[in-house]
Chains A and B, each alone.
Chain A
Amino acid sequence: MIDSLVTETADRALRAVATFDAVQSAEERRWSPEIWDAVASIGLPWISVPEGAGGVGGTISEAVAVLVVAGRHAAPIPLAETGLLAGWLASSAGLSVVEGPMTVVPGRGDDDLRIVDGRLSGTAHRVPWAASAEQIVALVDGHVVVVSPSAGVITEASNLAGEPRDSVTFEAAPIVNMVPAPDGVDADALRFRGALSRAALMAGALGAMTELTVEYTSQRRQFGKPIGSFQAVQALIVKCAEEAALVDLAVQVAAREADRGEARFEIASAKLLADEAARVATRAAHQAHGAMGMTQEYTLHHLSRRLWSWRAEFGDAVWPQRVGDAAVELGADRLYRAIAEGSASGIAL
Chain B
Amino acid sequence: MAIQFVATELTDDERALQQEVRAFCESHLEDGSFEPGLGMMVARSKELSLELGRRGWLGMALPTEYGGGDRSVVERLVVVEELLRRGAHLEQHWTADRQSGPVINRFGTEEQKRRFLPPICRGELCFCIGMSEPDSGSDLASVKTRATKVDGGWTLSGTKIWTSNAHIADYMIVLCRTGESDDAHKGLSQFILDMHSEGVTVNPITFLDGTAEFAEVVFDDVFIPEDLLLGEEGDGWHQCTSELSFERAGPERWISPFLLVELFLREYGSSLNPEARSFLGSSVSRWWGIRQVSLSVARMIDEGLAPSVQSAIGKDLGTEFEQTVVAGLQQLVDLEPSLSSDRLFHRLLARAILISPSWTIRGGTNEILRGIIRKGLA
Residue contact B282 to A245, C-beta cutoff 8 Å: no
Partner-binding segment picked from A29-37, A98-106, A190-198, A229-237: A229-237
Can you name the residue of chain B whose Cβ is closest to the Cβ of A253? B7
A137 within 8 A of B: no
User: Chain B residues with Cβ under 8 A from A321's Cβ?
Assistant: 274, 277-278, 281
A256 / chain B contacts, CB cutoff of 8 Å: 7, 9
Cβ proximity bits B174-198 to A, threshold 8 Å, 1 near / 0 not: 0000000000000000000000000
When C-beta atoms are compared, the residue in chain B nearest to A210 turns out to be B2
Query: A249's closest neighbor in chain B, by CB?
Result: B5
The CA of A325 and the CA of B265, in the complex, are separated in Å by 11
CB–CB B289/A245 < 8 A: no
Residue of B nearest to A248 (CB): B4
Q: Which of A207-243 contact B (CB under 8 A)?
A: 207, 210-211, 214, 218, 228, 231, 234-235, 237-238, 241-242
| CB-based nearest B residue for A206 | B2
Distance A246 CA – B320 CA, assembled complex (angstroms): 14
The range of chain A's interface size is 35 or more
User: When chains A and B are docked, how far (Å) is the Cα of A228 from the Cα of B278?
Assistant: 36
- Assembly CA distance A339 to B325 (angstroms): 15
B370 near A328 with CB under 8 A, answer: no
- Cβ of B335 within 8 Å of any chain A Cβ, yes or no, is no
Q: Which residues does chain B contribute within 8 Å of A218, judged by CB atoms?
A: 378
A250 within 8 A of B: yes
> If A320-B278, A328-B272 touch, does A214 touch B377 (CB 8 Å cutoff)?
yes
Complex contact A235–B290 (CB within 8 A) = no
For residue B357, CB closer than 8 A to chain A, the reply is no
A5 at the interface (CB under 8 A from B): no
Q: Name the CB-closest residue of A to B278.
A: A320
User: What is the CB-to-nearest-CB distance from B127 to chain A, in angstroms, rounded to a whole number?
Assistant: 29
Which chain B residues border A307 with CB–CB below 8 Å?
A: none
Which of B6, B279, B292, B310 is within 8 Å of A250, CB to CB? Answer: B292
B377 near A241 with CB under 8 A, answer yes
CB pair B3 A340 closer than 8 Å: no
* Known pairs A211-B2, A336-B85, A339-B291; A327 contacts B281 (CB<8 A): yes
B292 touches A328 (CB 8 A): no
What chain B residues lie within 8 Å of A324 (beta carbons)?
A: 272, 276-282, 284
- Within the assembled complex, what's the spacing in Å between the Cα atoms of A326 and B272? 12
Asked if A291 is at the interface (CB within 8 A of a chain B CB), the reply is no
Stretch at the interface among B40-48, B118-126, B155-163, B255-263: B255-263
Contact of B370 among A238, A247, A325, A327 (CB under 8 A): A238
Contact B281 A242 (CB under 8 A): no
Residue from A228, A237, A246, A319 whose CB has the most chain B CB atoms within 10 Å: A246
> Cα distance A327–B378 when bound, in Å?
40
B107 in contact (CB, < 8 A): no
Judge whether B166 is part of the interface by a CB distance below 8 angstroms.
no
Q: Which of A246, A248, A317 sits near B317, CB closer than 8 Å?
A: A246
Other than the given A218-B378, A327-B281, 4 more pairs (CB < 8 A) read: A238-B377, A250-B289, A327-B284, A336-B85
